[in-house]
Structure 1
Amino acid sequence: MKSICLFFQVHQPFRHRRYRFFDIGNDHYYYDDYANETILRKVAEKSYLPTNKLLLKLIKKMKGQFKVAFSITGVALEQFELYAPEVIKSFQDLAQTGCVEFLSETYSHSLPSLKNKAIFEQQVKLHDQLIFELFGQQPQVFRNTEMIYSDEIGARVYQMGYKGILTEGARHILGWKSPNFLYVNALNPRMKVLMRNFKLSDDISFRFSNSNWSEYPLTAEKFTGWLNKLDPKEEVVNLFLSYESLGERQPRESGIFEFMEHWVHNVVNSDTLKFATPSHVLEELQPISAVSVLHPISWADEERDLTAWLGNEMQKEAFEKLYKLSSRMERCSDSELNKDWNYLQASDHFYYMSTKFFSDGEVHSYFNPFDSPYEAFINFMNVLSDFKIRLNAMVPHEEEDQELAALHKIIDEKDKKIKKMEAELQRLRKSKLQQKPAAKRR
């Protein structure tokens, strides 16, 4: 039987408020709490909660034959805890069924796999700890931010203890080969690679409600028919989607939830198809060959490369300036700075700076809270400038900065001592004044 591997990405960044030049050095709070809460609550009510309810119903109804996988970022889970704790509870209910697998990824949906090995491993470790705390699972399969993958990244992830990785079945990588098989990493054949069938995945996530699409409307029967028409030798169909596709991008009115329910029922009752989690696929199937990816790929845009985040000079400058602080952040023990450091690394900030208006402009504008990529760049750099001021005070960079920091520390200590002495002097004066009338009465 052909395995259907259904996977969803769940991510929400901490969005920055409009942070002006004059805020630098004066206001150290960077976040748009209203936007974060409003967006999170809206997506939770339209997508996360109703879809989790549907999946739980289907798992119970199908008696364990329906299986699904998630990768949920740490920053999304933090926002659930702040604004919609019932979403975490709904994921915990799914976890208890034994039919849901939680995958590993970076805590902040960040890009350190392209820049800094130590930070990459730290982000992944932080993420997996939270997944274990909330859902009781120790992830065995890895899904990098935006499915970014290369031979080098795959080999490194294997050394981190993972047995498999998910990525995009990009045409320029596979050529005549099909994504509907299990592959292995070109540098380390022990690392197994699952490749996304982007055509079938995007039929659901992007084209489902498009009335101009030649296949509109997409019914459960039609989609199941497409799966059955695939080459019988092909062993797995990897349908990897953003979770917001269900209920948000494809609204309830489009019939997306009815489609999912009927389609799952069709697959479970099929003699040729079955659902499987990534771990089950890795255990059941034998790889057919290695897949060579010399330069990083992703699941974004037509190019399936990194240009959505690092395609122009603004993005590259912001990226380099951010990770230039890496060595000092390794020595930083301040909890607030470390929290802001994690949030600053979210790939969304670089995505907002994209100038890809032509090939994929609609997608980029849909997710962008800024009026222009230039505004996004200036805003991020203002935040980063203030962050550097705070970091310099805690972990100086240059010898001169160290001397200044030491002097600031001495001055602060003296100020505290003076204030303490002034308070004591005030207390003594007050005590003396209270004693004078008593002395006169005697």
Structure 2
Amino acid sequence: MKHICLYFQLHQPFRLKRYRFFDIGNDHYYYDDFRNEEIMRQITQKCYLPANRLMKEIIAEHPSFRVSFSISGTALEQLESYSPEVLDSFRDLAATGQVEFLAETYAHSLSSLYDVEEFYNQTMIHSRRMEELFGLKPRVLRNTELIFSDEIATQVAEMGFRVMLTEGAKHILGWKSPNYLYKAASAPDLTLLLRNPRLSDAISALFSRYDWNEFPLTADKMIRWIGETPEEEQIFNLFMNYEVLGSLHPQETGIFDFFRALPVLAAKSEIVSFATPSELIDTYQPVAKFSAVYPISWTGEEKDVATWLGNVLQQGARDKLEQWGERVRMIDDQRLLQDWLYLQSADHFYYMKTRGGDAGNFSPYDTPYDAFNNYMNVLSDFLLRVEARYPSTIENEELKALLTTIKNQDKQIKKLEETVKRLKTKTV
């Protein structure tokens, strides 16, 4: 039996408002609430709600159907604020037992590339949030943009995850197929599910392209392609953004009909079914090692990370985050920590990209340079706030020791207060 592993990503960043140089030190609120709400409500109506209704209907009609999701923490927060009905519909899907929710970095950040501790913290925060919402602790990690390397694999294994998703990059696989389980060369206990680029892109990138030589893509054609593969190839990982349904490809293109027909034709074929990542690793064994010395992702022809860190603008912004990470994590100020998370979303770096043109319709900025200037103005104000609380004249180690002493003193004071309270009660 051949298995389709269908996975969707949901992410929305907190987009920044226009923040001028003269705002630094005067305005500490950075976000374009109107735009964020407008975009979330639009995508909710075009994609999230109708797509979730579709998935629920398919699950009710096809007990063998399976689907997986990861939802970034920043998307969850905006859903809670602007579209809570979407979260309710995801809870309904979770209750079917046919849906798996995956872990990722809370802010959809690039922290795995520059800050090991931040990567760990964000992943753990996200895992706890998913468990609170859907009742199950994630077993599988989907890193931001499927970013993977040997170094990252080691960190993920140390976090306790058994499985990680990444791209079936041709320059890594060579003649080998993505349609098997692999294990990380640097962490043999970590199983890897590799995205099938050809089949995934046929849906996510090419579905409504009239100039594509395989247009139109039908469910029958997809099942036939899978059935024509060698018998021993049994895992077909179709990974894509959820916005494929209704937003990237409007409903009139037939994208909803495609997904509705897919399980019907899979069942008729009698050789294709569906599985979640966890079900796959419980069924199959890895066939070989997979190694990526340099980070890979699911984006661009090169499948690297240059989309976010390929120019000096992006690298300069990244370096600033890297320099301040340790100090910011010492802060006991929820507002500052929240801003720290939001400012790490990969989208801010994407808007600065110059390779292959600018970020197009997805960017709220006219040019990558506008994106860089706006982001660095915001970051400058944020770091001034951090500096005001914890001056850079105090070394990190000295500051850490001082904060530890203060926390210990606070604990001791609370214990003494409790003792005094107990003694007063006894006396009365």
* Range that drifts further, 387-396 or 376-385: 387-396
Q: Is the 8 A contact 1:66 1:268 kept in 2?
A: no
TM-score by length of 1: 0.88
Distance 1:366 1:246 in 2: 18
Q: Which residue of 1 aligns with 2:401?
A: none
Deviations along 1:227-270, whole A, 9 cap, x unmatched?
Answer: 11111110200000110111000000101001110112111333
What pairs with 1:266-415 in structure 2 (closer than 5 Å)?
266-357=265-356, 364-399=359-394
Name the aligned partner's letter for residue 44 of structure 1.
T
Q: Which residue of 2 aligns with 1:203?
A: 202
Q: Which residue of 2 aligns with 1:174?
A: 173
Deviations along 1:139-158, whole A, 9 cap, x unmatched?
Answer: 00111000000111112101
Q: Which residue of 1 aligns with 2:111?
A: 112
Hey, which bits of structure 1, 4+ residues long, moved more than 2 A? 399-402
Distance 1:399 1:4 in 2: 55
Name the aligned partner's letter for residue 393 of structure 2.
E
Q: Give the 3-state SS of the residue equivalent to 1:239 in structure 2.
A: strand
Q: Which residue of 1 aligns with 2:421?
A: none
Distance 2:89 2:361 in 1: 27
Name the aligned partner's letter for residue 30 of structure 1.
Y
Distance 2:275 2:289 in 1: 22
Distance 2:104 2:322 in 1: 19
Name the aligned partner's letter for residue 377 of structure 2.
N
Name the aligned partner's letter for residue 395 of structure 1.
Y
Distance 1:311 1:58 in 2: 41
Alpha carbons of 1:132 and 1:399: their partners in 2 closer, same or farther (altered >3 Å)? closer
Deviations along 1:80-116, whole A, 9 cap, x unmatched?
Answer: 0010000100100000000000011000000111111
Q: Is the 8 A contact 1:95 1:101 kept in 2?
A: yes
Q: Which has the larger radius of gyration?
A: 1
Cα shift at 1:8: 0.5
Q: Which residue of 2 aligns with 1:38?
A: 38
Alpha carbons of 1:296 and 1:269: their partners in 2 closer, same or farther (altered >3 Å)? same
Cα shift at 1:357: 2.6
What pairs with 1:43-54 in structure 2 (closer than 5 Å)?
43-54=43-54
Q: Is the 8 A contact 2:196 2:236 kept in 1?
A: yes
Distance 1:169 1:357 in 2: 22
Q: Which residue of 1 aligns with 2:8?
A: 8
Q: Is the 8 A contact 1:59 1:67 kept in 2?
A: yes
Cα shift at 1:400: 11
- 5+ residue gaps, structure 1, are 403-442
Q: Give the 3-state SS of the residue equivalent to 2:269 in structure 1.
A: coil
Q: Is the 8 A contact 2:263 2:273 kept in 1?
A: no
Distance 1:385 1:345 in 2: 14
What pairs with 1:29-108 in structure 2 (closer than 5 Å)?
29-62=29-62, 64-108=63-107
Distance 2:223 2:200 in 1: 13
Distance 2:193 2:394 in 1: 49
Distance 1:185 1:400 in 2: 38
TM-score by length of 2: 0.91
Distance 1:279 1:264 in 2: 19
Q: Give the 3-state SS of the residue equivalent to 2:165 in structure 1.
A: strand
Name the aligned partner's letter for residue 389 of structure 2.
M
Distance 1:116 1:33 in 2: 29
Q: Is the 8 A contact 2:140 2:163 kept in 1?
A: yes
Q: Is the 8 A contact 2:297 2:303 kept in 1?
A: yes
Distance 2:126 2:386 in 1: 24
Q: Give the 3-state SS of the residue equivalent to 2:65 in structure 1.
A: coil
Distance 1:386 1:156 in 2: 32
Cα shift at 1:399: 4.2
Name the aligned partner's letter for residue 370 of structure 1.
Y
